[in-house]
Structure 1
Amino acid sequence: MRPGGPDRAAERARRAALRLAFGVAACFAVVEALDWDVTFLAPLLAANILVKLERPPPSLAQGLAFLGLIAVSTGIVMVLTAAFIGSPVVLILALALIIYLSFYAHRRGAPELVTLLPQISAVMLPTIAILSPAAAGSFATTIVLAGIVALITVWTAHTIFPAPAAAGPEASPANDTARAAGPTTAARHALYDTLILLPVLSWFILDATQVAIVVLIVIVTLLRQHDRGQGQQTALGLILGNLIGGIAAAGFYNLMLVGGSLLFFVMACFAASLIFAGRIVVAAERAPIYAIAFATFILLLGLGMSPLPGTSGEAFFSRLLNVLLASAYAIGGLSLVERWRRLPS
């Protein structure tokens, strides 16, 4: 073993956990200070970038490209929604194509924001437009601004907590849950992911309800996190991860009702995020479970702090139930398509 190897690895893990916790807490601080809607979006985007612990931050050119992609993907979804909101079947088919292409790019190893932002736009904007047409435009603007905040926060986190200069280039398999697949495999998995997500998205477009955003984002997050190489036990563990994240968000939200100040919120958010980040860094094969728990924590906490149209900040129990139902649906859908794929032709 090389001298200093364990110490170097421990320092890398410590800085990675601090980057992740800082990024999420800083995003929450910015959006809460500015009193934005959709509080969860910027922290969730930052977490999706920073949870890939071994990857360097986006370059300036990549950042500008990401911002352009945000504007383009959001604009396309807005145009489709406005054009076909009276023809839901056509709208659903158009959204299905966007979702499929984004899942394909994700399975091929594209950067997180490149694939996550079109998916978030595709599942959020149409359902928000149906719930509250007047809010759709401001919602689209918020998505763009959230992407900007997430990128700046990621760059800041890497500046404050840089990876040790002597760190080795090897990537950690535990945190590389979206390893690049070949074209045929990526196309097949993207089709499965789309087929699992599409029925729920169609249901909420045809009959929008207040739980649509929670359910859809939980399903998207699970599909993105799930590795087809994982066993059934690990897949079921993702449901446990959602339960952990939901309970933590409910407890944290009630603590915020007592604390009150923005400073207290930011400090407590950093402490809670650091707990999740520490588990993600050291949990080896269980890292995806804690990553799912952290994403659920961010989502439910953000919705509690800034409810979407038709929702309330106090409905944590119903949201947690919807999270668990969405998790069970996604894992059940993944199990079904895996069995279908293994059937003899």
Structure 2
Amino acid sequence: MPIELRRRRALRLAWGIALCLSASYGLGLPVPILAPIFALLLLAMRSQPLPLRAAPALALLVLISAGSGLLLIPVLRHAPVSGVLLVGLGLFVCFRFSLRGGNGLLANLLVIGLTMVSAAGASDFTLALLVVEAMAKGMLLAVLSVIMAHQLFPEPADAPAMPTPPLPSAEEGAWIALRATLIVLPAFLLALIAPDRFMPLVMKSVSLGQQSCETSVRQAGRELVGSTLLAGALAIVVWGGLSLFVHLWMFFLWTLLFALLQARRLYHVVTTQQSPGFWLNCLTTMLILLGQSVQDSAAGQDVYRAFAVRLTLFLLVSLYSCAMLYWLDLRRRRQVDEF
């Protein structure tokens, strides 16, 4: 891929995320960090521009995917064990669908709907409706931001499509989907206890589950834990810079700068030993940490204590993800040796 095209895609990704984030917080959307994360997914998974009519279509897709979580709320309330098993089965089907060549965006939306919406609704149905509203409005804003980013940095007509990773075999895909499901489930169980406290952990675990589908066992520690540590360090730097002059436009500029630094490595403008999944997870985690810190500050909470607790939880779930990858790989090898 030509270096100029990679630079253009990196600029588009950074500008799309920064524009979406500033608009989301400026408009005061519920759960404002969802919109830039959706914009990140749309820009990272697709290099071609989206038509304007895709905005209502994708918002409708969000509502449909969130409906899967709403349907599970009565089961989680009255038969919690069966409800958790159904959520686990749904996660496995979604990850398996993605690994067999299905639409990755749809699979991600279904996973978010199954986990965040159902966990919120298990304790308060109004909270679940708020999450659904946040997802729909966030997707609308994300699509508009992606369209604007493509207007600023258009894709050349003769540009090659983004490479598609090879699909695993049916048996290997089932194992990968199983380990991704087991990575997401513990955070989901914690969110059932206190959704307002552990919802960011669910978002992080979904990102880790998706990343685990593309990570080998050898690289698990560096990919999952290393990207989380780097994201925490970058979030601290951005927060320190933002605290010097607190303004929405400064939030936009700091996000643009650090998103561009990571996007250049994601698209190999700057050569590194890390995979694109490493930088995608790092950028996602940094956005979640920053977004929650802004929300804590607006609510008058102790930002530094909340950040330390949240980063510790993110590291613990990353270590758990590594352990799950190693354990399932060991189990699989033993089964192969027995046969």
**Same fold by TM-score, threshold 0.5 exceeded?**
yes
The answer for the alignment partner of 1:333 in structure 2 is 324
Aligned-pair identity in percent equals 25
On the 8 A contact 1:250/1:316 being kept in 2, the answer is no
Preserved contact between residue 38 and residue 307 of structure 1 (Cα < 8 Å):
no
What SS class does the counterpart of residue 51 from structure 1 fall into?
Answer: helix
Deviations 1:235-259 (A, max 9, x none): 4333111111112113322332332
Question: Counterparts of 1:178-327 in structure 2 under 5 Å?
Answer: 179-205=166-192, 207-208=193-194, 211-227=197-213, 230-233=216-219, 235-282=221-268, 283=271, 286=274, 287-307=276-296, 312=301, 314=303, 315-327=306-318
Give 1:27's match in structure 2, choosing from 20, 25, 30.
Answer: 20
Residue 108 of structure 1 corresponds to 100
What root-mean-square deviation, in Å, do the aligned CA atoms of Structure 1 and Structure 2 show? 2.8
Unpaired segments ≥5 residues, structure 2? none
Alignment partners' CA distance in 2, 1:85 and 1:34: 34
Identify if the C-alpha distance between structure 1 residues 211 and 237 changes in structure 2 by more than 3 Å, giving closer, same or farther. Answer: same
Q: How big is each residue's C-alpha offset from its partner over 1:307-331, in whole Å with a ceiling of 9 and x where there is no partner? A: 59x9946111111111111111111
3-state SS in 2 of match to 1:151: helix
CA distance in 2, matches of 1:301, 1:47: 15
One-letter code aligned to 2:39: A
Secondary structure, counterpart of 2:102 in structure 1: coil
8 A contact 1:244–1:293 mirrored in 2:
yes
Cα distance in 1 for partners of 2:302, 2:12 equals: 28
Q: Given residue 148 of structure 1, which amino acid in structure 2 is its aligned partner?
A: L
What amino acid maps onto 1:322 in structure 2? L
Partner Cα separation in structure 2 for residue 42 and residue 140 of structure 1: 12
- Tell me, yes or no, if the aligned pair for 1:19 and 1:157 is still in contact at 8 Å: yes
The alignment partner of 2:139 has SS state of helix
Superimposed CA distance per residue, residues 74-124 of structure 1 (whole angstroms, 9 cap, x where no aligned partner):
122123214532321122122123212211122123333201111112221
Aligned-pair distance for 1:63? 5.5
Q: How far is the alpha carbon of 1:196 from its aligned partner? A: 3.3
Q: Does 1:142 align with 2:134?
A: yes
Match of 1:75 among 51, 55, 67: 67
SS of residue in 2 equivalent to 1:85: helix
Q: Against the structure 1 CA distance between its residues 285 and 163, is the aligned structure 2 distance closer, same or farther, given a 3 Å change threshold?
A: farther
Structure 2 counterpart of 1:87, from 79, 94, 101: 79
Identify if the C-alpha distance between structure 1 residues 320 and 22 changes in structure 2 by more than 3 Å, giving closer, same or farther.
Answer: same
**Could you tell me whether the CA contact under 8 Å between 1:127 and 1:212 is conserved in 2?**
no
1:113-172 Cα offsets, whole Å, 9 max, x none, are 201111112221233335655322122111111111112222222232122334344x44
The correspondence of residues 152-167 of structure 1 with structure 2, limited to 5 A, is 152-167=144-159
If the length of structure 1 is used for normalisation, what is the TM-score?
Answer: 0.85
Could you tell me whether the CA contact under 8 Å between 2:32 and 2:134 is conserved in 1? Answer: no
Distance 2:105 2:216 in 1: 24
CA distance 1:82–1:234, shift in 2 (3 Å): closer
Deviation at 1:188, TM superposition (A): 3.3
How far has the Cα of 1:234 moved from its partner?
5.2
1:38 equivalent in alignment to 2:31: yes
Deviation at 1:266, TM superposition (A): 1.2
Change (3 A) 1:285 1:108: farther
- CA 1:98–1:316: 2 relative to 1, 3 Å: same
Bigger relative contact order (CA 8 A; separation at least 6): 1
Match of 1:4 in 2: none
TM-score normalised to structure 2 length: 0.87
- C-alpha separation between the residues in 1 aligned to 2:233 and 2:272? 23
Instruction: Note the residue ranges of structure 1 that are not aligned, 5 or more in a row.
Output: 1-7
Alpha-carbon offset, residue 218 of structure 1: 1.8
Name the CA shift for 1:51/1:311 in 2 (closer, same or farther; >3 Å).
farther
SS in 1 for 2:4: helix
C-alpha distance in 2, partners of 1:55/1:185? 28
